[in-house]
Chains A and B, each alone.
Chain A
Amino acid sequence: MPCGRLFPHRIRFLFIFLMSKNMLRSETKQNIIEPSFNNEVKEDKRVLAYHEAIREALQLAMSQDRRIFIMGQGVDDPDGMFGATKNLHLQFGRERVFDTPLSEGALTGISVGAALAGMHPVYFHNRPDFLLLAMDQLVNHAAKWSYMFGGAKNVPLVVWACIGRGWGSAAQHSQALQGLFLHVPGLKLVMPSTCYDAKGLMLAALADQNPVLIMDHRYNFNNKGLVPPKPYTVPIGKGVIRRKGRDVTIVAVSHLVTEAFHAAQEAAAYGIEAEVIDPRTLKPLDEEIILDSVAKTGRLIIADCGWKTGGFTAEIGAMVAERGFNHLKAPIKRIACPDLPMPAAYNLEQAYYIGKNDIKNAILELAR
């Protein structure tokens, strides 16, 4: 029976409100300790939430480098971009951390111009969907400037956007558009998956003198992990093996690294050892770490939270077919979102998204 029959309007509203609070908590506010990846942290075992790791990177970089500033709609609001920029305006002032008009097209061009004239902007977007309004400046300008002028000027710029997921965000608030940007020469494309990397890759992006697009994922913000307090960089263009295995190689992106890790752990119960590779940066891509793993396992699964056609899975599949064909013992498996806009209904969302079980099934099928 629809709840409209049971409750008068006002109560119904309250009911929905309370439900949404609970759903939000279970979907996005829960902090999950990251799997014990064989990661880089040896000495300092401090645990930070994902947003705190990004925030600390910005804080360290801004304290060291006067050129760095933060802009974007909502960077100084009480939420502070899911916490990543929270209260930084109090520490660094509103001249260096400022809210912007929604004008994504012009503001991207403005960040390009500021970069040309000696600054290092970090432009925050809470959803990549809005980057589409900035495509001209990202693709025609930021990505071209160094090459087009024979290296006379370069654009040190970080653009950050966070892929949304869940709670009926639907077709225009949950797009994972890394495939579009992967196509464009002149942009570096970074997709962290751990708290450690969120900090280290942000610091690397800010040490880089070129346009770097960090495509983050809302699900990463559920994580807590080991993050040393000192400044450090994670090299752009270097992948990492998150789990060693001999039977199947899984290349997974962003929050799917964690999913792939759990899938691999479960598959181990069947005696199959999957190797999980986190490329960390899609462009430049560490092709060798993938090829070396495929040379060992002969089997490849690629998991991406974007669309299948013309996306990251297609690119990695083609690269391995081109450079590692002789090592393959079975067809490549691609796990990606279907070529459809994201639907809103909760059950359709579940049908649309991919995760641990899809990866696990693929492992079992491939290793059979």
Chain B
Amino acid sequence: MMKLSPKVLHNLLFEMMRIRQVQLAIESRYLENEMRTPVHLCIGQEAVAVGVCANLKNNDYINSTHRGHGHYLAKGGSLRALIAELYGRESGCSKGRGGSMHLVDAKVGHYGSSSIVGGGIPVGTGMGLAIKMQKKKNISVIFFGDGAADEGVLYESINFAVLKKLPVIFILENNQYSVCSHISARQAGENIFHAMPAKLLMTKIVNGNDVRQVYDGVNNAVIRARTGRGPSFIECRTYRIRGHAGCETQDVAGYRTVGEIDSWKELCPVASFQKKLLKNKIITPNEINKMERKIENQIKDAFDFALRSPLPAPDTLPLYLFNE
């Protein structure tokens, strides 16, 4: 395992806690029916977003999915603009045109997320092509789920990325479910890309609930991409604690057992990392409390900002179709 400074470790914990608390805050107010957009919560998957993005620079690109709040926040996307977007406000990151599934913050290299499963994979690959053609030093990281790994466009995109040796990292965030369909009902076995020769495509399977494993695995891939040695494919194995969309009470019963969910709750990436840092005396309970309060304040500020922002004016409906 790589040696990381306490500052970096604190930051990993802080970012995970922040994503978790934001998700819980959204969930707690979701049934008020004021956030009228299908939220896909990433509770239980925070280590993937944080472990990956902690390796990235501001000008690196990410491409995200319908379950993208965590990726957006971990890459540095504005929290105020996220919450305002969920409330459909003009001050939202997509000016209320995108909703929960279409987040963007161009200032931090997040150029928009697609809710077509697999749709962002070639887009992120193309951003890698642009980097290579422009002879720049940044990289393009693509988050996608196990559902997207069912799609043929993944094969097409990886083939192209390998063919052109693009600075692209494919992050398969395997949470085991696509809506209610378990991966075992959809895929024939281990993902076939793990069988690619390492020279062409570096691949790795990491525990997606362990932020250190994710961080270390991606670190190698980032070095590889930045030094022009081509793409990598990293599978982060994790679990979707909540249902496909909406809050906990809206998850439909019957497609998985309560025992299965509970056993994964035991493997909570935030709590386990917190425990580890406390045990190794890298952080104190007081410092954790301080982090919690800081996050609470940020969340309060973001919700206040969203709720006092105006809705888009109806006469702005036709705007933004084209850039003229």
Contacts and interface: CB of A to CB of B under 8 A. Distances in A.
Interface of A: 69, 95-96, 100-101, 103, 105-119, 136-137, 140-141, 145-154, 185-186, 188, 209-210
Contacts, number: 156
Contacts of A69: 133
Contacts of A111: 126
B322 A107 contact: no
B124 interface: yes
B204 interface: no
B134 A113 contact: no
B96 interface: yes
B112 A148 contact: yes
Contact of A113 (B95, B104, B130): B130
Contacts of A149: 93-95, 97-98, 102, 104, 112, 320
Contacts of A188: 322
A154 B129 CA distance: 17
Contacts of A152: 93-94, 104-106, 111-112
A117 B130 contact: yes
Nearest to A151: B320
Interface in B39-96: 61, 63, 92-96
Interface stretch (B24-32, B156-164, B209-217): B156-164
Given A146-B323, A150-B320, A117 B119 contact: no
Given A107-B160, A110-B157, A113-B123, A150 B134 contact: no
Interface string B119-135: 10111111111110110
A151 B13 CA distance: 34
B125 A110 contact: yes
Contacts of B129: 110, 113-114, 119
A107 B159 CA distance: 11
Contacts of B61: 117
Given A106-B125, A117-B111, A117-B127, A148 B133 contact: no
B104 to A, nearest CB: 4
B313 interface: no
Contacts of B8: none
B321 A146 contact: yes
B125 to A, nearest CB: 5
B153 interface: yes
Contacts of B111: 116-117, 152-153
B94 to A, nearest CB: 5
B320 A109 contact: no
Name the residue in B61, B63, B159, B320 with the highest tally of chain A Cβ atoms < 10 Å from its Cβ: B320
A95 to B, nearest CB: 7
Given A106-B153, A110-B160, A151 B95 contact: yes
B122 A113 contact: yes
Contacts of A141: 114, 116, 119, 123
B319 interface: yes
Contact of B321 (A106, A110, A186): A186
A151 B323 contact: yes
B127 A116 contact: yes
The 5 closest A-B CB pairs, nearest first, are A113-B126, A109-B122, A150-B95, A106-B156, A103-B156
A136 B156 CA distance: 14
Nearest to A140: B116
Contact of A95 (B102, B121, B133): B133
A210 B322 contact: yes
B122 A110 contact: yes
Contacts of A107: 122, 156, 160
B114 A113 contact: no
Nearest to A139: B116
Given A103-B156, A106-B160, A152-B93, A112 B102 contact: no
A240 B83 CA distance: 49
A109 to B, nearest CB: 3
B98 A150 contact: yes
Given A113-B63, A149-B98, A150-B94, 9 more contacts: A103-B157, A109-B119, A114-B127, A114-B130, A116-B130, A118-B134, A137-B119, A153-B111, A209-B324
Interface string B304-324: 000000000000000111111
